[in-house]
Amino acid sequence: PIFYALSICYALLSETIIKTLFHKIKLLSAIVAVTLISFLSVNDSIQIYLAPPSPKYELYKKTAEWLNEHAPLNSRVGINEVGIFGYYYTNGSTIDGLGLITSGGTDGIRTGEYSWYISKYEPDYLAFIRPRRATLEGFQSEKWFKRLYKKATIIESGRLKNKIYQRRAIPLS
């Protein structure tokens, strides 16, 4: 009889130990899985954060910094890709040639008049990426443009360039 009692106690104890271990293994596995997933997510974010900015980002940042340093306070700058430029340019207002943040662009773009913002807002400076895009900035070679604007500088970042024009001291109309 004592043998049966000891066998039952051993079986119950073994079952309790196995259940406890199994529960701890499940818990440990869940903790390891969550930790691994968290690490992988954070690792991707860290790699993105530590990656150097793209040349285009740097180009528009340098363009804004140059204008902040050289353009008079409250200067209006026309640009076709506002992006990060709008964040860094703090010396005046930004005029968006594509009309995303500047009203009036929809009609000009729809009719193919990509210089609409120059006559409407008379920007003090214009910044165009080089080489120029024929559709968006082809008017740079036209007589009216050359009469109104002169080259101020060229900003470079890697293989990319921004050509900055300054408005001449003559009225647009």
Q: With respect to residue 145, please indicate whether it lies within any of the assigned structural domains.
A: yes
Q: Which of 92-96, 130-134, 139-143 has the lowest mean pLDDT?
A: 130-134
Question: Do 161 and 155 meet the contact criterion of CB atoms below 8 Å apart?
Answer: yes
Q: Kindly indicate the confidence band of residue 171, based on its pLDDT and cuts at 50, 70 and 90.
A: low
Do residues 84 and 134 share a domain?
A: yes
CA dist 25 and 5 (Å) reads: 30
In this structure, what token pair is assigned to residue 87? 């964040």
Do residues 85 and 9 share a domain?
A: no
pTM (2 decimals)? 0.70
> How many residues in the chain?
173
Question: Do 64 and 85 meet the contact criterion of CB atoms below 8 Å apart?
Answer: yes
Q: With respect to residue 173, please indicate whether it lies within any of the assigned structural domains.
A: no
Question: Residue range 165-170: average pLDDT?
Answer: 91
Do residues 130 and 100 share a domain?
A: yes
Do residues 128 and 77 share a domain?
A: yes
Do residues 95 and 61 share a domain?
A: yes
Do residues 92 and 33 share a domain?
A: no
Q: With respect to residue 97, please indicate whether it lies within any of the assigned structural domains.
A: yes
CA dist 66 and 12 (Å) reads: 79
Range of the domain at 42: 1-51
Predicted pLDDT at 125: 98
Q: How many domains does the chain have?
A: 2
Predicted pLDDT at 67: 98
From 51, 66, 89, the end of a domain falls on 51
**Quick one: CA dihedral 109, 123, 62, 152, positive or negative?**
positive
Indicate if the pLDDT at residue 133 is higher than 60. Answer: yes
Indicate if the pLDDT at residue 172 is higher than 70. Answer: no
Q: With respect to residue 172, please indicate whether it lies within any of the assigned structural domains.
A: no
